[in-house]
C-alpha cells in the first residue's frame, strides 16, 4: 500500500489535525485545524515533511505515488472551486495556487513562497476576463514571474526591480500603483526575457511544470544558508524538514474592497490584550511585510495610540473588522495561546491564510501567560512551561534611564522593546565581522531580508527605515529579544556610503548610537541606564516557579553589588564566593604581593595580618546582605604567580613600595612560573605548602561571623576547600579549618553553625567521593574545571576549535555551556551516589557556569542535586528551569 503523502483541507473539512505538526508542519497542521473548526480557509493540500526528507536524501527525487496523490488533490480543488488549474480547456474560469513552506517550528521568512502560480500568457487573459480587471490580472502575472524567477529559477529579484524602476522613470511614473494594465503588458516581455537571458531557458508556460518546480524550490529552501543559520540559532534540528502547503489563491489586490494583513491576537511587544496588526488595501501579503508600502493600523485604538494619520481597517471596513475580531477570539480560545494571523479580504469576503503561535518578547510572554491563567485559559503549570528560561535574560539587564539626556536623531516604530547601544554598521556581513572583534554593533538597514539573519543575530539593536510592526526585521528581532526600531522614514540610510543621515547630521560606520525599542527613538551616542524592575507579571510567575521547583538556586558572588543583585533576583544564598577576586584592589594587592615575595613564614604572616581586616570586611558584607542565607566561601584557589606584576613598570613600582630589589622580584616570578598553571600549584596544594594562608582566611570568616552574631544577626558560613583530589589532602586541611574556626568562636564566646566541604573539580575526586565524604559535609561540583580536566581541554584554548567541532558534527553542543551528560555528567552522578553512600543526606550542588544553563539545570534536578549556583543575572533563569524540570518539561541544549 502506497504511503499517504498529501492531506487535503477546505470547505469545513480536513484530513489533518493540529497535533500532526511533525508530519504536516506547523502551518499545515493549523490550516487543517482551522478548516475543521469552520473558519474560512482557502482550500488546499499539504505535502508532508516525509517527502522533504526523501527529496533531500535523494537529492531531488520524489517518492513513488506522490505524483498521483498531487493530481488527485488538485482535481479535488478544481471541483470545489469550479475552476480548472491554470485556466485550461478554454474555459472562462481559472484556479491559481500558492506554494508555501511550513516547518514544525516557525521560521518566519527563512524559506520560500510562490504566489499566483498557474498564470501564463493565456491564463492571464482568462483571469482578466473572469475578474473584469485587466490591471489586476497583469499585475498578478508580473508578481508571479518575478517571484518564480527569484525563488525557483535563481534570478535575483533586483533584476526585475531595476526593469520596473527604469520603466517608471521613462514613463514619468512614481508608484507601482500608477502603472495601468497597458503598462504591465508592456513590461511583461522584459521580465520574461530577463529570465531567459539569465537561465538560458524560456519561462515555463505549463502550470504543472510550474507547480513541481515550485514544490522542489520550497523543499530545497530547507537547505538554504539563511534557513540553516536560523535553525542553528534557534536550535531546530536539521532532520525535521519542511512540509509544502499548496493552497487556492485569494487576492487582496482586486480593488478597494480587497485587502491583506497580518495581525496578532494580543500585542506581541507588550502582551496587552488588544488586537494588534497592520493591513493594506488592494495589496498582496508580501507588500505588508516587505516595507514597500507603509502599512496601516488594524484598529482605531492602535491608530490613536501611535498617532498615525492613515485610516484603520476598523474605520474602512467595520463589518469585516468585526468578523476578524471574532476569528481572533475563536482562535485564541481554541489554541489557548496568542496567535499570529495572516488574512486576505477578497471582494468583501474574509479569508484566513495562516495562524501560528505568535512570536513575542519575553515581557509580552510573561504578561500573556499570567493573564491567561487569570482568564482561566491555562493553569499555572502551563504558564511556567510556556516561558523559555534563556529568554528571561532580555528582562534582567538595565534599560534606558528616562531622566537621562537624549540627543534624538529621529523616531520610528517601537518594533521590539529594550535598550541597545553600539557602533553603527550597515550590512549583516559587517555586523558579523565587527562582532567577532568584540564590538557591540547596531545594524542599520533600509530594510532587512532573511539573508541578514546572521548579522541580525549578533547585533545589539536593529534599525530599519522601511517596514512596519510586522516587517521581517520586527518579527525576527522580537523572536530573538533584540531591540528594534523599524519604519524610521525620516532617517536616511546609505548602505554604499555607510552613512546614516537625520536632522542634518551625518553618522558614519563606527559611530555610537542608542536605540530605544520601547519608544522607537534613535539617539546619538550612549544613554545612561537604570536597573530593571522585576514586578508585575514577572513577579507573579516567579512566585509560581518557586512553589513548583525542588532544586535550590544560589548565586556566584563575591562583591556586595553582585550579592545584592543576586538577592533581588531571588537567590537563596551564595554558592560560590571566590576569595581571590577580593585581593586585586590596589590597597590589597600590594600586601598580597608582599606575602608572595616573603622570605619565610614570619614575613608571610606579617603580610597576611595586613590582609585579614580586608577579608573580614568582605565576608561581613556578604553575610549582612544575604541575611542568614548560606554563604559558601571558596578558600584561595589560583596559583600565586597570577598576583605578581608582569610589566617592567609594575615590577619597578612593587620594588619601590616593598623596598625590594627588582632582581629579587623577577627571580620570584621565574620561580613561580608554571608550564600548565591550571594543573599546577593551586587550590588545596597551596594550603598544604602554606597553611597560614587558609588560616588567615578562615579567621577572617569567623571573626566577621562573630561580629554579626554579637549584633543579633544570623549567619550561615560554609567553607569550601578547592581542588581536592585525595582524601589525604582533605584529611589534613579539614582539621586546620575546623580548629581555626572553633578557636575564633571560643575566643569571642559565640555559637555559629557552619559546615566544611570541598569542591569536586577533578575526575579523581568524583571517583573517590565516598572517601572525601568522611570529612566533607557538602560537595560543590566545579563543573568548569571538571569539564576541562575530564576532556583534557583548556577552556580558553579550546574556543578556537569548538565551533569547528560543532559544525562538523563531532560535538552537538559546547561542553562548557551545556554540561556533557555522558562524561562530566556521569562523574557528577557517580560523585553524588558515592558521597551519599558514605554520608546520607550529603548536601550537593554545582557552582560552575552550567548552573545558569537551562539544560544543565534539568540535569542537576534529575541527578538529585540540592542546588545550583550561577551568576547573579542568571538566577531567575535557573529558577524557571528548575521549575520546568520539576514539571517534566523537556530541556533544550543551549550551547
What is the pTM for the complete model shown? 0.80
- Tell me, what's the pLDDT at 880? 97
- Tell me, what's the pLDDT at 799? 65
Contact between residue 7 and residue 29 where contact means Cβ atoms under 8 Å apart: no
- Tell me, what's the pLDDT at 330? 96
- Tell me, what's the pLDDT at 158? 85
* C-alpha span between 419 and 622 (Å, rounded): 31
* C-alpha span between 431 and 435 (Å, rounded): 6
- Tell me, what's the pLDDT at 290? 61
Main-chain phi, psi angles of 458, to 5 degrees: -85, -10
832 CB-near residues (< 8 Å, 6+ apart): 769, 779, 842, 844, 863, 864, 865
Report strand pairing: 13-14 vs 6-10. antiparallel
Main-chain phi, psi angles of 88, to 5 degrees: -75, 180
User: How would you write 147-188 as a 3-class SS string?
Assistant: HHHHHCCCCCHHHHHHHHHHHHHHCCCCCHHHCCHHHHHHHH
487 CB-near residues (< 8 Å, 6+ apart): 291, 294, 412, 413, 415, 464, 465, 466, 467, 468, 469, 471
- Tell me, what's the pLDDT at 891? 66
Contact between residue 342 and residue 350 where contact means Cβ atoms under 8 Å apart: no
DSSP reduced 3-state for 530: strand
Q: Please list the active-site residues.
A: 472, 847
DSSP reduced 3-state for 359: coil
* C-alpha span between 352 and 346 (Å, rounded): 11
Report strand pairing: 461-464 vs 441-445. parallel
* C-alpha span between 217 and 623 (Å, rounded): 63
* C-alpha span between 869 and 846 (Å, rounded): 6
- Tell me, what's the pLDDT at 770? 98
- Tell me, what's the pLDDT at 895? 45
- Tell me, what's the pLDDT at 893? 53
Main-chain phi, psi angles of 607, to 5 degrees: -65, -40
Instruction: Catalogue the E-assigned strands of 268-348.
Output: 276-281, 296-297, 339-346
* C-alpha span between 610 and 292 (Å, rounded): 70
Q: Which long-range contacts (CB under 8 A, 24 or more apart) does 456-459 make?
A: 456/428, 456/431, 456/480, 456/482, 457/229, 457/233, 457/482, 458/431, 458/432, 459/420, 459/422, 459/425, 459/431, 459/435
Can you name the residues that pair with 349 across neighbouring β-strands?
Answer: 346
- CA dihedral (315, 321, 322, 325) positive or negative: negative
Contact between residue 757 and residue 718 where contact means Cβ atoms under 8 Å apart: yes
Contact between residue 513 and residue 421 where contact means Cβ atoms under 8 Å apart: yes
* C-alpha span between 643 and 381 (Å, rounded): 49
Contact between residue 476 and residue 453 where contact means Cβ atoms under 8 Å apart: yes
> What DSSP state is assigned to residue 20?
G
Nearest to 844, CA basis, from 852, 855, 834: 834
Contact between residue 503 and residue 521 where contact means Cβ atoms under 8 Å apart: no
For the chain, the residue count is: 895
Q: What is the pLDDT of residues 184-216, one digit of tens each?
A: 999 999 999 999 999 999 999 999 999 999 999
CA 716 to chain centre: 37
DSSP string, 364-419: HHHHHHHHHHHTTSS-HHHHHHHS-GGGGGGGSS-EE-TTS--EEEEE-EEEE-SE
Please, what is the end-to-end C-alpha distance for the chain in angstroms? 43
Instruction: Catalogue the E-assigned strands of 184-335.
Output: 242-248, 259-264, 276-281, 296-297
Using alpha carbons, list the distances in angstroms from residue 11 to 35, 41, 44, 210, 570.
7, 8, 10, 26, 53
Alpha helix positions (H), 503-600: 536-548, 560-568, 586-597
* C-alpha span between 625 and 631 (Å, rounded): 10
Can you name the residues that pair with 357 across neighbouring β-strands?
Answer: 339
Contact between residue 522 and residue 389 where contact means Cβ atoms under 8 Å apart: no
Can you name the residues that pair with 341 across neighbouring β-strands?
Answer: 263, 355
Which residue ranges of the chain lie beneath pLDDT 70?
Answer: 1-2, 88-91, 288-292, 394, 397-398, 450, 469-470, 479, 796, 799, 891-895
Amino acid at each position: 500500500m502506497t504511503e499517504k503523502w498529501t492531506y487535503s483541507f477546505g470547505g469545513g473539512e480536513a484530513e489533518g489535525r493540529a497535533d500532526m505538526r511533525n508530519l504536516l508542519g506547523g502551518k499545515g497542521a493549523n490550516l487543517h485545524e482551522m478548516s475543521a473548526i469552520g473558519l474560512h480557509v482557502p482550500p488546499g493540500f499539504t505535502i508532508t515533511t516525509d517527502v522533504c526528507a526523501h527529496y533531500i536524501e535523494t537529492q531531488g527525487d520524489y517518492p513513488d505515488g506522490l505524483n498521483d496523490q498531487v493530481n488527485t488533490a488538485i482535481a479535488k480543488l478544481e471541483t470545489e472551486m469550479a475552476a480548472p488549474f491554470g485556466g485550461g480547456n478554454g474555459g472562462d474560469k481559472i484556479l491559481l495556487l500558492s506554494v508555501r513552506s511550513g516547518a514544525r517550528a516557525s521560521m518566519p521568512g527563512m524559506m520560500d513562497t510562490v504566489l499566483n502560480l498557474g498564470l501564463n500568457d493565456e491564463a492571464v487573459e482568462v483571469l482578466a476576463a473572469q475578474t473584469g480587471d485587466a490591471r489586476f490580472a497583469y499585475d498578478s502575472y508580473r508578481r508571479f514571474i518575478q517571484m518564480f524567477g527569484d525563488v525557483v529559477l535563481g534570478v535575483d529579484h533586483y533584476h526585475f526591480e531595476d526593469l520596473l524602476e527604469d520603466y517608471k522613470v521613462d514613463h514619468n511614473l512614481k508608484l507601482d500603483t500608477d502603472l495601468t494594465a497597458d503598462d504591465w503588458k508592456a513590461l511583461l516581455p522584459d521580465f520574461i526575457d530577463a529570465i531567459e537571458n539569465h537561465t538560458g531557458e524560456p519561462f515555463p508556460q505549463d502550470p504543472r511544470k510550474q507547480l513541481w518546480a515550485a514544490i522542489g524550490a520550497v523543499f530545497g529552501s530547507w537547505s538554504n544558508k539563511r534557513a540553516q543559520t536560523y535553525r542553528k540559532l534557534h536550535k531546530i534540528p536539521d532532520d525535521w524538514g519542511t512540509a509544502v502547503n499548496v493552497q487556492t489563491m485569494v487576492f487582496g489586490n482586486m480593488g478597494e474592497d480587497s485587502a491583506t494583513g497580518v495581525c496578532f491576537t494580543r500585542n506581541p511587544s507588550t502582551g496587552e490584550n488588544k488586537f494588534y496588526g497592520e493591513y493594506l488595501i488592494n495589496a498582496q501579503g508580501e507588500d505588508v511585510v516587505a516595507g514597500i508600502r507603509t502599512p496601516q493600523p488594524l484598529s482605531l485604538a492602535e491608530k490613536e495610540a501611535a498617532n498615525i494619520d492613515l485610516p484603520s481597517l476598523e474605520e474602512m471596513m467595520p463589518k469585516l473588522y468585526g468578523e476578524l475580531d471574532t476569528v481572533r477570539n475563536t482562535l485564541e480560545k481554541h489554541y489557548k495561546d496568542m496567535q499570529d494571523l495572516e488574512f486576505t479580504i477578497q471582494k468583501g469576503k474574509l479569508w484566513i491564510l495562516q495562524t501560528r503561535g505568535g512570536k513575542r518578547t519575553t515581557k509580552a510572554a510573561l504578561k500573556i501567560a499570567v493573564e491567561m491563567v487569570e482568564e482561566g485559559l491555562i493553569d499555572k503549570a502551563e504558564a511556567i512551561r510556556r516561558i523559555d528560561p534563556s529568554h528571561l535574560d532580555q528582562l534582567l539587564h538595565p534599560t534606558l534611564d528616562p531622566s537621562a539626556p537624549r540627543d534624538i536623531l529621529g523616531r520610528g516604530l517601537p518594533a521590539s522593546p529594550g535598550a541597545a547601544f553600539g557602533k553603527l554598521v550597515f550590512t549583516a556581513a559587517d555586523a558579523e565581522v565587527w562582532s567577532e572583534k568584540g564590538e557591540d554593533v547596531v545594524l542599520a538597514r533600509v530594510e532587512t531580508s532573511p539573508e541578514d539573519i546572521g548579522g541580525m543575530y549578533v547585533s545589539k539593536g536593529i534599525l530599519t527605515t522601511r517596514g512596519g510592526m510586522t516587517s521581517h526585521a520586527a518579527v525576527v528581532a522580537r523572536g530573538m529579544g533584540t531591540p528594534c526600531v523599524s519604519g524610521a522614514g525620516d532617517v536616511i540610510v546609505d548602505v554604499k556610503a555607510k552613512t546614516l543621515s537625520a536632522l542634518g547630521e551625518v553618522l558614519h560606520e563606527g559611530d555610537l548610537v542608542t536605540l530605544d525599542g520601547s519608544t522607537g527613538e534613535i539617539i546619538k551616542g550612549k544613554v545612561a541606564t537604570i536597573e530593571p524592575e522585576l514586578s508585575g507579571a514577572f513577579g507573579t510567575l516567579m512566585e509560581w516557579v518557586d512553589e513548583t521547583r525542588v532544586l535550590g538556586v544560589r548565586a556566584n558572588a563575591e562583591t556586595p553589588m553582585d550579592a545584592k543583585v543576586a538577592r533581588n533576583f531571588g537567590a537563596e544564598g551564595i554558592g560560590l564566593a571566590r576569595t581571590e577576586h577580593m585581593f586585586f584592589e590596589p590597597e590589597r594587592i600590594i600586601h598580597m604581593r608582599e606575602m608572595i615575595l616573603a622570605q619565610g613564614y614570619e614575613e608571610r604572616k606579617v603580610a597576611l595580618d595586613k590582609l585579614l581586616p580586608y577579608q573580614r570586611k568582605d565576608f561581613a558584607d556578604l553575610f549582612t546582605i544575604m541575611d542568614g542565607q548560606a554563604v559558601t566561601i571558596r578558600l584561595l584557589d589560583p596559583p600565586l604567580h597570577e598576583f605578581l606584576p608582569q610589566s617592567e613598570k609594575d615590577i619597578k613600582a612593587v620594588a619601590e613600595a616593598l623596598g625590594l630589589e627588582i632582581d629579587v622580584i623577577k627571580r620570584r616570578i621565574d620561580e613561580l612560573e608554571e608550564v600548565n598553571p591550571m594543573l599546577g600549584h593551586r587550590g588545596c596544594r597551596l594550603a598544604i605548602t602554606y597553611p597560614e594562608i587558609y588560616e588567615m582566611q578562615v579567621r577572617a570568616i569567623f571573626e566577621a561571623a562573630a561580629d554579626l552574631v554579637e549584633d543579633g544577626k544570623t549567619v550561615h558560613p560554609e567553607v569550601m576547600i578547592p581542588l581536592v583530589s585525595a582524601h589525604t589532602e582533605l584529611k589534613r586541611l579539614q582539621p586546620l579549618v575546623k580548629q581555626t574556626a572553633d578557636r575564633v568562636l571560643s575566643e569571642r564566646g559565640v555559637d555559629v553553625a557552619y559546615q566544611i566541604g570541598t569542591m569536586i573539580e577533578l575526575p579523581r575526586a568524583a571517583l573517590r567521593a565516598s572517601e572525601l565524604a568522611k570529612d566533607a559535609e557538602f560537595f560543590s561540583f566545579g563543573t568548569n574545571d571538571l569539564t576541562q580536566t575530564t576532556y583534557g581541554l583548556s577552556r580558553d584554548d579550546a574556543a578556537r576549535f569548538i565551533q569547528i567541532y560543532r559544525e562538523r558534527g563531532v560535538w552537538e553542543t559546547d561542553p562548557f555551556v551545556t554540561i556533557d551528560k555522558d562524561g562530566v555528567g556521569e562523574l557528577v552522578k557517580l560523585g553524588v551516589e558515592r558521597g551519599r553512600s558514605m554520608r546520607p543526606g550529603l548536601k550537593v550542588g554545582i557552582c560552575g557556569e552550567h548552573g545558569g544553563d537551562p539544560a544543565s539545570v534539568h540535569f542537576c534536578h534529575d541527578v538529585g542535586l540540592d542546588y545550583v549556583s550561577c551568576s547573579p543575572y542568571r538566577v531567575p533563569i535557573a529558577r524557571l528551569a528548575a521549575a520546568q524540570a520539576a514539571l517534566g518539561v523537556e530541556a533544550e541544549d543551549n550551547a
